[in-house]
């Protein structure tokens, strides 16, 4: 009788310990997933800031370079495409992040072409409003880099945590999935060729 009671107490104690550990791990995974979502929101925030600056930049440029219509339209269209791409932070898989990144890269490329075209207009470059917008855009690009890095760090911690044993079992039971990372664009590893001829 005494051995049966001790065995029952040991079993109950093990169930409490294992259950408590599972609950603790589950809560930690939920907390970490929320941190990934918050980091993703910051990434979206800075991309939206860039998108909000573009109409002002385009309007300023229109007054000086109205015949650069094709370049201006490319920027406007790329902005529209980039702002239409949204991702559910709980479903941050590689494919959706790649599509988001492709649309943002297209916008960056269009902005780059616009800036090159604008070099041909000294009056525009001297315009204080244009210079202010250019500075804000540069600052926003830096913020994008910082927030992308913070997102990747947060996603890395989450991914590492849910892959560890026994948390990987809990993650599988509750369908917590690995988060995708921002990756460098193709060709980014090669330095651009500079030629002063």
Residue 20 located in a structural domain: no
184: which 2 tokens? 């460098």
11 assigned to some structural domain: no
Q: Please report which helix (H) or strand (E) contains residue 90, including its range.
A: none
Please say if the pLDDT value at position 193 is more than 70.
no
The per-residue pLDDT for 188 is 46
Question: Using one digit for the tens of pLDDT, what is the confidence trace for 106-153?
Answer: 888 888 888 877 777 777 777 777 778 888 888 888 899 999 999 999
Residue 5: pLDDT band by 50, 70, 90 thresholds? confident
Give the domain CATH number at 124.
Answer: 1.20.1440.20
Parent domain of 120 = 35-148
- pLDDT at 35 > cutoff 90: yes
Give the pLDDT band (50/70/90) at residue 192.
very low
For residue 177, being part of any structural domain is answered with no
pLDDT of 152 reads 93
Task: Please report whether residue 46 resides in a domain.
Answer: yes
Give the Cα separation of 180 and 159 in Å (integer): 9
């Amino acid at each position: 009788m005494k051995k049966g009671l001790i065995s029952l107490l040991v079993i109950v104690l093990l169930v409490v310990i294992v259950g408590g550990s599972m609950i603790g791990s589950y809560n930690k995974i939920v907390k970490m997933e929320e941190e990934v979502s918050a980091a993703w929101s910051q990434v979206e925030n800075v991309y939206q800031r860039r998108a909000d600056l573009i109409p002002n930049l385009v309007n300023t440029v229109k007054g000086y370079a109205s015949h650069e219509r094709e370049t201006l339209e490319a920027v406007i269209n790329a902005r529209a495409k980039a702002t239409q791409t949204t991702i559910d932070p709980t479903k941050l898989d590689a494919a959706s992040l790649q599509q988001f990144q492709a649309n943002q890269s297209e916008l960056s490329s269009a902005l780059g072409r616009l800036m090159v075209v604008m070099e041909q207009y000294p009056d525009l470059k001297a315009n204080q409003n244009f210079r202010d917008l250019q500075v804000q855009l540069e600052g926003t690009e830096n913020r994008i880099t910082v927030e992308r890095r913070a997102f990747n760090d947060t996603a890395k911690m989450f991914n590492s945590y849910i892959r560890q044993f026994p948390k990987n079992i809990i993650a599988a039971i509750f369908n917590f999935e690995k988060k995708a990372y921002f990756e460098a664009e193709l060709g980014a590893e090669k330095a651009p060729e500079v030629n002063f001829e």
